[in-house]
A and B are shown apart, each in its own frame.
Chain A
Amino acid sequence: MSKRVKGWVLIVVMTTFFAGPLLAEDEPSLLKDMTAVIALLSLPCGQVVSAIQQGDNDHIVSCQDGNRYRVFVNSEGRVVAQKQ
Chain B
Amino acid sequence: MYRDRETKLSELGGRVSDSSVKSRAETAMRSVGLLCFLLMAGCAGLERAPSQPVVTQGEAVADEPVTHPPTPAVAVEPVIQPPTSTVEAEPEIHSVTPSVVVAEPVVRPVTPATTRSTEQSVAKIDSPDVKIPAKTSVAPVPVEQTRKKENVAPGPVKQEASLDIASLEKRLRETKAIGVFTKITLKNQVDDLLNQFRAFYQGRAKATLAELRQAYDRLLLKVLSLLQDKDQVLASAIVASRDAIWNILADPVKFSTL
Contact status A27-B50, CB under 8 Å? yes
Q: Does B199 contact A (CB under 8 A)?
A: no
Q: Does A84 contact B (CB under 8 A)?
A: no
Q: What is the chain A residue whose CB lies nearest that of B55? A: A47
Q: Does B148 contact A (CB under 8 A)?
A: no
Of listed A28, A34, A40, residue having the most chain B CB within 10 A = A40
For this complex, into which size category does the number of interface residues on chain B fall? Answer: 20 to 34
Interface of A is mostly: helix
Known: A20-B42, A33-B180, A36-B178. A49 touches B50 (CB 8 A): yes
Contact status B188-A78, CB under 8 Å? yes
Contact status A34-B181, CB under 8 Å? yes
Contact status B55-A40, CB under 8 Å? no
Per the bound structure, the CA–CA distance linking A73 and B188 in Å amounts to 11
A 23-63 binary contact with B (CB < 8 Å = 1; else 0)? 01001111111111100110000011100000001000000
Per the bound structure, the CA–CA distance linking A16 and B38 in Å amounts to 10
Known: A36-B182, A36-B226. A13 touches B50 (CB 8 A): no
Known: A13-B35, A16-B39, A36-B226. A28 touches B184 (CB 8 A): no
Interface of B is mostly: helix
Q: For the complex, count residues of A whose C-beta is within 8 A of B.
A: 29
Q: What is the chain A residue whose CB lies nearest that of B28? A: A1
Per the bound structure, the CA–CA distance linking A77 and B49 in Å amounts to 31
Query: A28 contacts which of B49, B182, B222 (Cβ < 8 Å)?
Result: B49
In the bound complex, residues from chain B placing their C-beta under 8 Å from that of A40 are 182, 185-186, 189, 222
In the bound complex, residues from chain A placing their C-beta under 8 Å from that of B181 are 33-34, 36-37, 57, 71, 73, 79
In the bound complex, residues from chain B placing their C-beta under 8 Å from that of A71 are 181
Q: What is the chain A residue whose CB lies nearest that of B186? A: A40
- Closest CB in chain A relative to B28 CB, distance in Å: 7
Q: Does A8 contact B (CB under 8 A)?
A: no
Per the bound structure, the CA–CA distance linking A64 and B229 in Å amounts to 22
Q: Does B54 contact A (CB under 8 A)?
A: yes
Contact status A21-B184, CB under 8 Å? no
Which 4 residue pairs of A and B lie closest in terms of their CB atoms, listed nearest first? Answer: A33-B179, A36-B182, A28-B50, A79-B185
Instruction: Identify the B interface with A (CB < 8 A).
Output: 24, 28, 35, 38-39, 42-43, 46, 49-55, 57, 178-182, 184-186, 188-189, 222, 226
